[in-house]
Structure 1
């Protein structure tokens, strides 16, 4: 199996790639699909692997999301992918108009498949699906903190109800009782269209993965969901054969010349990580950024004046996100933060020579990698489940290159001590 995944944001791509690599498939992340051609080393001919194309389409207009996802899927198929995977958030982040359904339709068309089979369930991250209801740490989705997400408020926990308005294809459900009977029963329950499957455990995910592979010769499907099912596909691929040489990549050490944490996420997990961090910190307030451009200059000066840049420093968004959104709009507040964090990352790496960056938040990660001119990540060890370090080559405006270590994490992932402990796993 050569697994080709299309991810709707950067941190989701890293989540999937990190877990798949730990399960035994070498993984890399491309930040956007190349405009032309194929990637010669995407899937080495002598072994299986996983390539993830990370897009920034979770909240993009539907037409844009479909166009970019289609291009990414075509690129992966042309590069040798034998199984397409649609990676969306394990909390099913979307609106009534998309984008999960329209992207599922588009990927099925590229694969020549009758639809998709999958689940957002990722038990290791506290996401489970039962009777079609998505639970977050044991709480129904609509009662979790995701209820009040600023961009994709999730007010329904029933995944069939959530997905049905997003697609003209039928939406089906394979319930947990069927899953417990094994892969053959799951495969028999799949119909044309998009099938959501209950999963409470890793064994359930393995049954779904085996069903996807069982269907492939006669009824190929796009696999879809959170990182959990992709990890199960990797486990199934490597379990019954010698996996020598397929372990997660051991990255070459990156000499430590500076450590910086940039946090744009307003999630509960990231807020706890900010609160627990005991080092130097600076606050980015969108209201101040809107009024005073010199605010960025002051932060640049503060970074340049640090006596020991190897000690981690934190720059994070103001905790009063709601006030900024009321005055500026959610889109404007987010754009100001992303632009500022991308600029500060480029300054730290290319002007001050920083070597290690920890980025919290999907939109923030997209802005930072864009500002650094990064196009590919080589995935290494995980600092926490779904939170891998990666090696990247950053390019400045003059084309000068620097190899750096980056950790791009979903706002929802990691324990309170992550900003202090993650450096232990860094290359």
Structure 2
């Protein structure tokens, strides 16, 4: 294993694995830190954690555990992957984890670059944009767990860290790898160990990648991985063959827990053509809506690609959180979807298209999956995945809330079947 990656959620991990595979690295996504099993041969290993919204100290502990496992696999470079919309709170977890990894690896500086041009995430003068909107005006300011109210990544990250945060501005990035390398050396010399690096295009990411070929630690969204495989290729280290991906016929179901603007549009499109079962937080908490009821609904509509969803507009989500508490609502919905996914696979469902990072994490955890083979890209940032769960072969698509075209769910179920 050459490149060891630590992702703070499951959709982000598959997004990163997809980017690495597209750029020529034989890649495997692991579900949590592997334990008690033979290692899987690959060039890039992505350890998917569920640390984005937990206590910072626990996020650090789990991330260091992943780092130590990846070090034992022989990795020479490490990547901490977080969301391209920098999902976090003023307390963390991006800053604390990044600083802990810096200390553990004893490196002087690490890039901070949460961008993904194919989905409109760009960074200019340290400010993060989602298409033509600043992050704080993109809808992310209404995120139910990690509302992003400040687009200045330096300022947001500084609230989470012990040290100062540097910047490599776009005018330097456009000068190429040598200028970026010199700028990063300057930041390290000024004791700014985390340096936000502007980027707008994939060419910018390739230049950054070339500049950090010898960096022990890299941090960013999946886009930062665009430029890393070429370094290993030039060194003559690539050549492993990825495991073949095959589709799987059988029933397909959509599970949507994200409440993003994109997810609401995608769900509405799917419900125009397919039946749906709505999951309200109040009903789940009171016991009025149960997993058995949702399972019965799916069975009754098994040939129609039904959707089970808790997706709602931000005002309804906020009202439920205010009444019952944010953590209680989130926990109840995640447990519901995890238990439902387990029952669905036992009932013979072979394809799951899952919307939302927390929902995806709950589903994968409940299915007790340990690693994924990376298949074809469904939409930018979302690959088809193959694994075995509950004793059965299954195919999954794990979609970050804001990713995917409006027809994503139909497209995903087709790819999972036919690829």
Place the TM-score, normalised by the shorter chain, in its bin. Answer: over 0.9
Structure 2 counterpart of 1:164, from 140, 158, 165: 158
Please tell me whether the aligned partners of residues 286 and 318 of structure 1 are also in contact (alpha carbons under 8 angstroms): no
Q: TM-score, normalized by length of structure 2? A: 0.92
Structure 2 counterpart of 1:345, from 337, 341, 346: 341
Question: Secondary structure of the equivalent of 1:53?
Answer: strand
Q: 1:198, 1:313 → 2: CA distance? A: 42
Please tell me whether the aligned partners of residues 84 and 111 of structure 1 are also in contact (alpha carbons under 8 angstroms): no
Q: Is it true that 1:317 corresponds to 2:286 in the alignment? A: no
Deviation at 1:111, TM superposition (A): 2.1
Q: 2:38, 2:132 → 1: CA distance? A: 41
What is residue 295 of structure 1 aligned with on the other side? 290
Deviation at 1:249, TM superposition (A): 4.8
Q: 1:235, 1:180 → 2: CA distance? A: 19
What is residue 405 of structure 1 aligned with on the other side? 395
Q: Does the C-alpha gap of structure 1 residues 418 and 71 become closer, same or farther in structure 2, counting only changes over 3 Å?
A: same
Q: TM-score, normalized by length of structure 1? A: 0.91
Structure 2 counterpart of 1:222, from 192, 217, 220: 217
Q: Is it true that 1:14 corresponds to 2:14 in the alignment? A: yes
Q: 1:42, 1:159 → 2: CA distance? A: 36
Q: Does the C-alpha gap of structure 1 residues 314 and 68 become closer, same or farther in structure 2, counting only changes over 3 Å?
A: same
What is residue 329 of structure 1 aligned with on the other side? 325
Please tell me whether the aligned partners of residues 19 and 227 of structure 1 are also in contact (alpha carbons under 8 angstroms): yes
What is residue 270 of structure 1 aligned with on the other side? 263
Q: Is it true that 1:80 corresponds to 2:74 in the alignment? A: yes
Q: 2:38, 2:75 → 1: CA distance? A: 11
Structure 1 counterpart of 2:116, from 82, 98, 122: 122
Q: 1:135, 1:124 → 2: CA distance? A: 13
Q: Does the C-alpha gap of structure 1 residues 26 and 67 become closer, same or farther in structure 2, counting only changes over 3 Å?
A: same
Q: RMSD across aligned C-alpha pairs, in angstroms? A: 1.9
Structure 2 counterpart of 1:100, from 75, 94, 114: 94
What is residue 198 of structure 2 aligned with on the other side? 198
Deviation at 1:171, TM superposition (A): 1.2
Question: Secondary structure of the equivalent of 1:178?
Answer: helix
What is residue 254 of structure 2 aligned with on the other side? 261
What is residue 183 of structure 1 aligned with on the other side? 177
Deviation at 1:355, TM superposition (A): 0.6
Q: 1:50, 1:245 → 2: CA distance? A: 10
Unaligned runs of 5+ in 2: none
Structure 2 counterpart of 1:415, from 405, 412, 415: 405
Name segments (4+ residues, structure 1) moved above 3 Å: 235-246
Work out the number of aligned pairs and report it. 406
